[in-house]
A and B are shown apart, each in its own frame.
Chain A
Amino acid sequence: MGKTQASTSAQGGAVLGGSGATSHVYIQYPPLRCDIPGAAGVMYDDGNKLLLVPAPSKVYSWPANQHPPPETPGVTNIKEGPILGVRFSLDCKILAVQRTNREIEFINRENGTGFSQQCKSGTDRIFGFFWTDCPSCDIVFVTTSGLELYALHQGRNSLKFLDIKKANVSWYVYTHESRLVLLASGMQCKTLAGYQFAAGGIIRLPKYDVMMAKADANRKPVLAPEDIRIATMYGRLYCLQVDRVALCIHMYRFYRDAVVPQGSLPIYSPHVAISVVDNVLLIHQTDSKVVLLYDILSDTKVPTSAPLPLLLRGGPLSSDSSIRSTEKDKKRVLMNREATIYGDGWVFVNPDFVLDHLHGLLWRLRLDLEAVAASTSNLPVLLAFLQRRRHEAAKAKELSLMVMRSMILERRPLTVIGTAMDVLTSSYAQGARPPNGTGGSSFQPTQFTKPLASTIAGITLSAGPRAGGPSSLTATPGVQSAVVMSSSGAASLRLPQDTEDSGDSEDDQVQASAPLRPEQGLATEDVLECTSDQGITGSPEIEEESPTSVSHDLSSESSGRLEVQNSSSMEPSVSSSPSLSGLQGIRMGIAAPLISPEEMQRRVFMSVEEETVVDTIFLVSVIVEYMRSAAREHVRVPPGLQAFVVKLLARDERFNELHQFIAGKLVEPSRAVALQLVEVGTHHTPTRKLGMEMLRLLHAHSDYVKLLLQDGRMLEGLRYIRRNKVDSVPPVMFLQAAASVNDAQKLAAVFRFCLDFIPGFQQTPDFITYSSRLNQQCTVGDGDTW
């Protein structure tokens, strides 16, 4: 599918061992398997990136972001009993287990002690809870009447109630990545209020209503939690709302004090799921099993690439065969199931995980940058896309270099190449300007580090076993991270009990979402039908930067994370920590596919030149384009590249242009350039002179004097030495040079100079050597040398 550009793709294959199959997004075999017998479900703890599987008396945990996945899980013993939700504290020392609608149990893993905490008011139910690294509290319970904030006591053996943020809550959505909780309220659950538990403190975001299209006039749609997704892209927080009636996804961006609609993306069936991989928005059309990629920073609202299926890679057989069999797999009954893409049990977990709770598998979505590169024909746009990738920065960089090279080799129009150069230099300039330290690996790591430092939280589950009841409601929201917009329309985290029955869980969730409403019964359908009447098409463009910047400032403190989204009302803030935008991230030293001018020189221009396919005239034009874009961004062009230009021009004997380049300072004076000029000027005197002149103006005394010597201009050299007090070239060298040309007059002059200006010259062996020699010559030559 997709139009491929032969050349690019071919190159890609050659250089990077392209992936062969046609897909832009893939999941890498093997998945993380967690088939614990008797397990009560699978939960994902996004605070710690752990996959948790509660069994009757144990909680198993796997780090989710390792590949290949670890075989053996961590185990924490707990008491038997119902489990609605599990999360480790951010330092992973305390495990919180939601036992009932009213109570959460805490187990200290270090000493095995434990305690329980009930919610404040007897009538409330707990929807869920999450740990935070915000300074003012450690854990937050989401209940029907709002948020309860607690802190751990010193001894870690009890919780201290701090505060309650009152709000009517129908359901909630939280992601640790964004530190943002969105609370849905109202008859249609379409009023969203948000709080961000940022490192800088708790930020209340303005309430806002999402827009939903009505399926028919009599029925009011109800917003379900799986319709709302908090997405963090480039450090900006978005709320994505799936409107399954209007067939579009509305985007809202959170600023500190506003929620701004950002337009809509079309979807082609009500069954969609959303992931964010490396800041790229993936919209899975689960019906047709294809994925659309959107890069919100590219100007267009069109997908970055053509829709292609999601593929499984690295399986024992070729990646595109859906059935693979090897010994390794034979022991697994689920072999085929593992290969089922968009299976019934799939839940899309924020940001880029897929939890297959039917089979106990956790997949991680990955972008195939090579495939994207191969199928994109607008190369500057592609380069911009590649430059924004962080997960596989090294690969993105290789691809960028390759694209750049092939553009030149294929002689693309200079304007296009110029635009591409602009992309590369501007991203380099933005990334490199503040000197950054070491490169981290990507956003993800950064995020991790912080959270990890704090605590390990447990995974929130979606509905609990008793899903039907209100309690299940609570659970669902809590899981938000795990909650998905699955194809079936139901959320998918599984209840501990019904591992296999996703259908139930869906119902549960649905009900949960509308727990208090009259319409509860309608749940599923309603949810699906929800549409935005108001049609939040919003302004398509991201509006202003100013709010952003504010938020950035705030966030800068918590440097680490991208953050929050809010679904509910306004105000989400990008505040605190999250604010690291992609670009800022770069500044923070996260590895990025930046291409420095030196690399441009070595990996692009020089390597293109080696291929000798491109005529030098064109290559020079290309380098000039690069210089232009570098100048625009105030990026310094390395002297080596400028010397390279000199070499290219001289090779074609375009000396006049060379002179103009130098006169116009297009090639800036530097020692490297000057020496290159002298070298190429061997057969073109004016150019050689130009080089020497440049050395002189650069005060490269010793180079200059040596060249003078080489030219036999000794007296001039001596004068120069004396005037500029050069001591790197010993005058004795002049004596040798003068002696070697066999010119007694010159030798005498040099000798005299040494005698006059070198203190203690008479005591040196040179004095004796040359004076005797001069005497000889004087006698022979009748000596009027002096």
Chain B
Amino acid sequence: MGAWAEAAQVCIFDMQRGQQEGHELDKILFFSPTDCPLPSQLSVIGLSEGLITFTRIFSPEAPCQLMQAEQHCHIFLNCEPDIWMVMVVEKAKEVEEEVRAAALEAVLKEAHELFVMFYGSIRALLHKHPAGDVARSCLHAFMPDYFADFLTGKKLQLPSIGDGLTERGTMQPVSLERDTVLHAQSLVGLLESCFGGGIVRHTLILFHGYLVSSTLPVGDTAALFSYAALRLTPAAIALSSSLHSAHKGQSTMQSPASRAEPTIPSTSPLGQDTTHPEEGVKSQFPRPLRQDAWWKDKDGFLATDAWGADNNGVHPTIWLQQSEEQVHLCVYQYRALTLLLLIPALLNGSNSLDTFTLLKEQLLDEAAQKIEKLEERLSKEWVGSNASHVPGYRYLCCDRSSKTATASPPSKVSTLSKESLSALNQVRAEIDFEKGRVERQASEQDPELEVCLRTKQNAWVIVRVRGGHELYTVQERASDTLVLASDAVEKLNKRHFHGQFSSD
């Protein structure tokens, strides 16, 4: 129901299951919209599976990424061995260019990444509970919350060509003075050496929605950062708190989560305790992406009930991809500064509560002053969200290896004309394709590409890819010649990116 049900379908299935005739339903782990009749579900999955099997003949490693049909477009993501996520997007009626597939694929990737962070991999869940019920419940608990963020009113806002100068899953670094970085790092050292070390395993420091420091590997940092940006920034907390109090005040009314329900129907309307088959599901399967999951306690720590009904007893836990370790998440917020502390779950048991209380006390005792000082420094240095703006350019520069991206602020990007954006979208699609090809060749060298494109409106779209870094620029200066536009990009490169895009 709702607009989005028509606009997109998302399904997750396991090709290892339901191999025998009559058991096809067993393949389906998740399907949205949930009220879609089973035969249609099966037909979508059947088609996908067929395509995958067929294309695998030619390309065993990367079978199938995208299928364009007349009215729909299928995006495939092989998120885990034999487990696929497929998104079926209806093409817009107007003759508008559709967004490049990679942008949609990034949404699926992010969803999967977050899911794995909270529940562990789907395969592991299936392994532990071969019946598949747990995996299904988890997916049903998580996905609707995730997609609820794409709703504006009742409309699903999937990435569009307007987002051409963004890159999902990357972090925008803040450029700080060395002194400030030293202070941040010194704080990290202090926190991680508490209790003789080992208690605080990892630390992330965020300032507003920006990453200041992280001791996690890149992948984990990116995943946790995405989550923090969605739910833990001061802004998100403010929103969540207001929802929370509203929720508390009128518990008989719709829970905030159920607002998502009309648009993301699931097998059982999500978050509706009354209709959910298992009453206990709410506490059994955490819903970390619930919009009112977190609120701030008086001591500055953030508290949540998304991992269980009991606020005090259950600490949020997440899985780290790289170390495959389960850790507790403890969040402290001081003004715009958010500290994410990860504490090994092994310390669990009866002591964990004490550990937490102790840790919190120690944190307040020893680090509070440092935290305040750091916040002060950061606030002083903070130039606002327009810091990354470079007059005359609209750009995106991303570094895949560290998953960071610097880009013109959205408000500036929105001044670009539709044509420019569409051209950019096209070029990016080409580049994605080209990059994919180079990657498949398993060449040791990074692709080195440069594309200059003049649009009908005389804007220039110039892309440079070099050494694992990508720079996308759009300049809307009608009078510029190729030489001028190219020089301008060179200038941008030299001034802001250390000349790393110059080919020597």
Contact = CB atoms under 8 A, between A and B. Distances in A.
B182 A716 contact: no
Contacts of A656: 214-218, 221, 402
A152 interface: no
A631 B176 CA distance: 15
Contact of A686 (B192, B196, B214, B468): B468
A657 B188 CA distance: 11
Interface stretch (B29-37, B257-265, B496-504): B496-504
A380 interface: no
B468 A689 contact: yes
A28 B120 CA distance: 71
A411 B196 contact: yes
A664 B186 CA distance: 13
Interface stretch (A47-55, A480-488, A618-626): A618-626
B24 interface: no
B189 A414 contact: yes
Given A655-B217, A693-B467, A411 B197 contact: yes
Given A628-B182, A664-B181, A713-B445, A659 B189 contact: no
B281 interface: no
Contacts of B197: 411, 615, 617-618
Interface in B364-421: 366, 401-402
Contact of A654 (B181, B215, B504): B215
Contact of A689 (B178, B181, B192, B467): B467
A665 interface: yes
A411 B181 CA distance: 23
Given A631-B178, A660-B214, A697 B185 contact: no
Contacts of A668: 178
B21 interface: no
Contact of B182 (A627, A654, A724): A627
Contacts of A37: none
Contact of B189 (A624, A654, A724): A624
A628 B214 contact: no
A413 B504 contact: no
Contact of B498 (A413, A659, A686, A697): A697
Given A666-B181, A666-B185, A686-B402, A414 B193 contact: yes
A411 B467 contact: no
Majority SS at the chain A contact face: helix
Contacts of A654: 215, 217
A415 interface: yes
Contacts of A689: 401, 467-468
B193 A693 contact: no
B168 interface: no
B25 interface: no
Nearest to A663: B173
A636 interface: no
A621 B192 contact: yes
B458 interface: no
B429 interface: no
Given A624-B185, A656-B214, A713-B445, A664 B468 contact: no
A66 B504 CA distance: 69
B497 to A, nearest CB: 11
A719 B173 contact: no
Contacts of A411: 193, 196-197
Nearest to A632: B179
A708 B221 CA distance: 31
B363 interface: no
Contacts of B444: 711
Contact of B178 (A415, A664, A685, A719): A664
A660 B366 CA distance: 25
B281 to A, nearest CB: 36
B429 to A, nearest CB: 26
Interface string B485-504: 00000000000001110011
A767 interface: no
B468 A631 contact: no
A625 B182 CA distance: 8
Contacts of B181: 664-666
Contact of A697 (B173, B216, B499): B499
B189 A665 contact: no
B8 to A, nearest CB: 34
A723 interface: yes
Interface string A647-684: 00000001111011101111010000000000000000
Contacts of A664: 176, 178, 181, 185, 213
Given A615-B197, A686-B401, A657 B215 contact: yes
The 5 closest A-B pairs by CB, nearest first: A621-B189, A664-B181, A686-B401, A720-B504, A628-B182
25 contacts: A411-B197, A414-B193, A618-B197, A620-B189, A621-B189, A622-B189, A625-B186, A628-B183, A628-B186, A631-B179, A655-B218, A656-B218, A657-B215, A661-B185, A664-B181, A664-B213, A665-B181, A666-B181, A689-B468, A693-B500, A696-B499, A696-B504, A711-B444, A716-B503, A723-B504
Interface of A: 411, 413-415, 418, 615, 617-618, 620-622, 624-625, 627-628, 631, 654-657, 659-661, 663-666, 668, 685-686, 689, 693, 696-697, 711, 713, 716, 719-720, 723-724
Given A631-B178, A656-B217, 7 more contacts: A413-B193, A414-B189, A621-B189, A628-B183, A686-B402, A716-B503, A716-B504
